[in-house]
Amino acid sequence: MEAARTIRDAVAAVTRLRQSAADDAELRAALLEVKRLQSRRFSGTYADLLAGGTYATAARFFLNELYGDKDYARRDEQFARIAGAIERLFPSHVAGTAAALAQLHALTEDLDVQMARLWRMEVGAHDVARRYALAWRELGRREEREQQLQCVIALGHELARLTRTPGLRTMLRVMRGPASAAGLADLQGFLEDGFDTFSGMSRRRGAVEHFLQTVQERERRLFSLLYGEDLVASETELARILGQAP
């Protein structure tokens, strides 16, 4: 039951982090600001992909499910509730993908909460791009940022691989009714959206690899900028990116 334990531990960690923010009104407000800004940043960085074409659906899925500012509490609760069933009913690589997603979510929430704490301290920086750049630099944790990115890329590759699992899409479709009746509609929607997004891209030779390479290159470029020595260059480029957000 290793995957189930990993899922439950990760969801428990996220719940504790959310509770720490819920108990502090200022921190809760700062966390929401950080998440909204990061969602805008992703929208700006990938404005060309979101505008339409081969990668629009995948970019939208990443924005909504990995880089968005949505409240995932209900999905997380459902995720933890059926963690054991995921491990029992699905092939091991499906359960492993679910566990990896849970761990990614826990790491992301931790980084976001710590960013929110620093965001409050940089209240004197009225320009949001400068304020974000200052908080990012103060937090540091570059290795964990790299780990976060690699988890996103690995998850994308694994979702693409799962689309080649015989019978998996049929299994998801059959589960739709029971999942809704059991109060698992949010989780079911995520699984189906992820499968369909990467299934569609996988039909075009090299599309998945090109999309994920694009994400990796652009995110690493942002890392280099925000961890660089020139603060003015960082905030100027970040302001430009935010201005591109649709």
Interval 222-237: pLDDT, tens: 999 899 878 888 888 8
Q: Give me the mean pLDDT over the 97-122 stretch.
A: 86
Q: Which of 133, 100, 107, 140 lies closest to 119 in space, CA to CA?
A: 133
Q: Which helix (H) or strand (E) holds 99?
A: helix 92-121
Question: Tens digit of pLDDT for each residue in 5-27?
Answer: 877 888 888 888 888 888 889 99
Return d(Cα 197, Cα 193) in angstroms, integer.
6
Q: Which of 55, 78, 56, 58 lies closest to 66 in space, CA to CA?
A: 58
* Prediction pTM value: 0.83
**In Å, how far are 47, 55, 90, 143, 190 from 60, measured between CA atoms?**
10, 9, 26, 26, 13
Return d(Cα 180, Cα 53) in angstroms, integer.
32
DSSP 91: -
Do 32 and 22 contact (CB within 8 A), yes or no? no
Question: Tens digit of pLDDT for each residue in 206-224?
Answer: 888 999 999 999 999 999 9
**What would the DSSP string read from start to end of 148-215?**
HHHHHHHHHHHHHHHTTSTTHHHHHHHHHHHHHHTT-HHHHHHHHHHHHHHHHHHTSTTHHHHHHHHH
Return d(Cα 216, Cα 137) in angstroms, integer.
20
Which residues does 221 contact at the CB level (< 8 Å), separation at least 6?
Answer: none
